[in-house]
Amino acid sequence: MNFSDSIFFQRDILIATSHKKEAAIAPVLRERFQSKIIVPGGFNTDRFGTFTGEIERIHSPLDAARKKCAVASKTYNAGLVIASEGSFGPHPTLFFVPADDEILLLTDYENDLEIAVREISTQTNFSGKEVKTAEEVKDFAQAIGFPDHKIILRKAERDNAHIVKDIANWEELLMTAEMFMNRYDSFFIETDMRAMNNPTRMSVITQAAKKLAGLMASKCPGCQVPGFDVGEVVPGLPCSLCSAPTKSTLKKVYVCKKCNYSKEVYYPNKKRHEEPMFCDWCNP
Ligand SMILES: [Zn+2]
Ligand SMILES: [Zn+2]
């Protein structure tokens, strides 16, 4: 992939983040585009909503990222801005599997261009449970990779009346847990999902940044504008036994948001047929 003839090459990029996510994003952009990364000191993204629930998130993740880009661009007079937005919960297609859903949005105000990527990863230690004893606290902490990953304790799930964040070592954890045990019959322990306190999440953001860099370097064959991306995934890969269409991907349709040029790519998973076990006719 060629990065040096990109419209993004060697430009200043402002990363609108307050949780040190630039540590996951900046190296990727510096390496590929020789970007000059700017991270504003006092940019408070918490006012757009927090994971820990003190400020409720009211926008969709993409809209929230858009808002962050717009505010940062205005505040710091920046022409090229990246914002990110993460959410955690059950995987959208794999049931009962927790997932980290990261969105990165690049907005180029000079070229009136927006490039968004989404990285959904099942590599996450997103977790929380009600506990009563020091033993349960220790078990939870070990399971989520404490102290590399930090922990939050609170009175009850989604209860912000009494919450302790940034717990980073065993002594602190056990002392805080004891304080909660003395005051309440039970309390809630959870993984701190804020990027700077969660290396697993940081690595998912790095994956998203690599995806973003790839799209930034891509060009529409029609108008050469970057961000030539899949607009539609069409199912219907034929069954190898009966040829009936299955739910597996037959083709991807790339669409340019600028000029509407589109390109179909058949068999994107390098498979021309699907196994009969995934066929509704052969394996109902
Ligand atoms: Zn185009
Ligand atoms: Zn079949």
Kindly report whether the peptide bond that precedes residue 147 is cis, defined as omega within 30 degrees of 0: yes
Ligand closest to the CA atom of residue 222? 1
Pair 201, 112 in one domain: yes
Pair 35, 100 in one domain: yes
Pair 37, 88 in one domain: yes
Would residue 6 count as lying in a domain? no
- Among 41, 57, 58, 61, CA closest to 49: 57
Distance CA 130, CA 108 (A): 45
pLDDT value at position 279?
Answer: 95
pLDDT value at position 89?
Answer: 86
pLDDT value at position 58?
Answer: 66
Q: What is the DSSP letter of 114?
A: E
Amino acid at 122: T
Pair 207, 72 in one domain: yes
Pair 156, 241 in one domain: no
Would residue 223 count as lying in a domain? no
Distance CA 7, CA 113 (A): 11
Pair 17, 62 in one domain: yes
Would residue 3 count as lying in a domain? no
Instruction: Give the distance (Å) from ligand 1 centre to CA of residue 227.
Output: 9
Would residue 89 count as lying in a domain? yes
Pair 138, 212 in one domain: no
Instruction: Give the distance (Å) from ligand 1 centre to CA of residue 226.
Output: 8
pLDDT value at position 121?
Answer: 95
CATH number where 26 lies: 3.90.950.10
Instruction: Give the distance (Å) from ligand 1 centre to CA of residue 219.
Output: 8
Contact predicate 10/36, CB 8 Å? yes
Would residue 24 count as lying in a domain? yes
∠ Cα 3 205 225 (to 5°): 35
Specify the number of domains making up the chain.
Answer: 3
Share of the chain above pLDDT 90, in %: 82
Instruction: Give the distance (Å) from ligand 2 centre to CA of residue 237.
Output: 11
* 155, containing H or E segment: none
Pair 165, 202 in one domain: no
Q: What residues make up the domain containing 185?
A: 128-192
**pTM: predicted TM-score of the whole model, two decimal places:** 0.87
Ligand closest to the CA atom of residue 221? 1
Give just the sign of the alpha carbon dihedral 192, 196, 198, 200: positive
Ligand closest to the CA atom of residue 257? 1
The pLDDT mean for the chain works out to 92
Q: What is the DSSP letter of 284?
A: -
Instruction: Give the distance (Å) from ligand 1 centre to CA of residue 258.
Output: 5
∠ Cα 5 215 230 (to 5°): 135
Pair 179, 240 in one domain: no
As a residue count, the chain comes to 284
Would residue 4 count as lying in a domain? no
∠ Cα 46 14 20 (to 5°): 45
Instruction: Give the distance (Å) from ligand 2 centre to CA of residue 246.
Output: 8
Ligand closest to the CA atom of residue 263? 1
Residue 104: both structure tokens together: 């990165």
Would residue 222 count as lying in a domain? no
Convert 204-217 to b/e letters by CB count within 10 Å (16 or more is b). Answer: bbbbbbbbbbebbb
Strand partners, 77: none
List, for the chain, all residue ranges whose pLDDT scores fall below the cut of 50.
none
pLDDT value at position 16?
Answer: 93
Ligand closest to the CA atom of residue 282? 2
pLDDT value at position 182?
Answer: 97
Contact predicate 125/200, CB 8 Å? yes
Pair 35, 175 in one domain: no
Pair 162, 93 in one domain: no
Instruction: Give the distance (Å) from ligand 1 centre to CA of residue 151.
Output: 46
Ligand closest to the CA atom of residue 262? 1
Pair 76, 205 in one domain: yes
